[in-house]
Amino acid sequence: MHDSLQVLSKKAAQALREAKTVDALKEVEREFLGKNGQVTGLLKGVKDLPDDEKRLFGKAVNDLKAELEGLLESRRHELQRAEIDAALENDWLDLSAPGEKFATGHIHPLAQVQREVETIFQQMGFSIIDGPEIESEFYNFEGLNIPSYHPARDMQDTFFIDKEADPVEGKLVLRTQTSPNQLRAMKKYGAPLRIIVPGRVFRNEATDASHEHTFDQVEGLLIDKDISIANLKGTMQEFLTRLFKREVKVRFRPGYFPFVEPGLELDMSCPFCTDGCRVCKRSGWIEFMGSGMVHPNVLRAGGVDPNEYQGWAFGFGLTRLVMMRYGIDDIRHLQSGDLRFNEQF
């Protein structure tokens, strides 16, 4: 074999051996046997040689080409086999292996209980309505029979919006209670009326385990003819019994809220025990909500004639209900966004 052919042959054979992947092998193929490859180049030069060299050299180059093609083919097989073996080793699929569980979200305990409350009141013919979280002083206070000088304003520490007061409706506030929606619903739908209003309320107070600046209430309002506290008692007893899935009794104590007359505090018999527990402080009763017969001034502010209609209203803390129900001892957990807390419900 021609001298330079021998060198070329060695070089090519070595390059083939050293190619570690099928892709690297393609590189080597291009270098020697490709369109501009070294061996191809020699073949192209054959036609320009003198006749006597042409035959010999041409044969030698062709032999080399055939030899390299053979080597290339076997090396390709070798590498392909190795790649398949590696894939079998690493990319195995075990159809009998247990599946991976996806983490799924779920409904926040506050929303869960809110839905239950809504369902029960809907079954009793109440509509669920919604109202603005930014309210005017009129809806949050004046219209509810709480004038600006009234001491009851001190009971609810208010967040004010830093904006000029409206001459009629006063300043804007973050609603401190859901009660403004009594007025909104009366104005919008008139009487008779049966609604509940679940929603967030806001108070400017220092937070601790039982106080938050933001919490949830449920307002209730029923207006019709010949309505009395007896209807309120029956409705709440039925509601609480369905909610706790065991018989719950209710009792009234006098209470004071400017928008009702008489004003009442409603207690429920403890749904968590039969003979005293931590939640009812061993008394068997739990303070549940404020309520009463809607004050004539409030009916008038809502555009309802107090000589024709009367009604009752109530407001309870949804947040507190959730805490009692699940034994949550710190209100701040509820809005913490801590999944370790939320995952438990």
Site for ligand DAH in 127-186 (CB under 6 A): 177, 179
DSSP alpha helix (H) spans, 91-205 = 109-123, 137-140, 180-189
Say whether residue 291 binds ligand DAH (CB under 6 A).
yes
According to CB under 6 A, which one of 257, 271, 295, 319 is a site residue for ligand DAH?
A: 257
By beta-carbon proximity to ligand DAH, the closer residue of 61 and 260 is: 260
Closest CA to 199 of 218, 185, 227: 218
Q: Return the structure tokens found at 39.
A: 């061996």
Interaction between residue 197 and ligand DAH (CB under 6 A): no
Minimal distance in Å, beta carbon 145 to ligand DAH?
11
Closer by beta carbon to ligand DAH, 58 or else 263: 263
Q: How many angstroms separate the CA atoms of 9 and 17, rounded?
A: 12
Among 8, 25, 68, 260, binds ligand DAH (CB under 6 A): 260
Sequence-distant (≥ 6) Cβ neighbours of residue 9 within 8 angstroms: 1, 64, 67, 68
Q: Say if CB 128 and CB 195 are below 8 A apart.
A: yes
Rule CB under 6 A: say whether 310 interacts with ligand DAH: no
Total binding residues toward ligand DAH, as defined by CB under 6 A: 11
Residue 170 dihedral angles phi and psi, to the nearest 5°? 80, -160
Q: Is 315 in the site for ligand DAH (CB under 6 A)?
A: yes
Verify binding: residue 269, ligand DAH, rule CB under 6 A. Answer: no
Using CB under 6 A as the binding rule, the residues of this chain from 209 to 248 that contact ligand DAH are 219
Question: For residues 184 and 305, what is the distance between their CA atoms, to the nearest angstrom?
Answer: 15
Q: Does 290 bind ligand DAH (CB under 6 A)?
A: yes
3-state helix vs strand vs coil in the chain, percent to 5? 45, 20, 35
Judged by CB, which is closer to ligand DAH: 37, or 311? 311
- Ramachandran region of residue 80, left (φ > 0), alpha (ψ -120 to 50) or beta? alpha
Least distance from C-beta 292 to ligand DAH, angstroms?
Answer: 5
Q: Which residues bind ligand DAH (CB under 6 A)?
A: 177, 179, 219, 257, 260, 290-292, 313-315
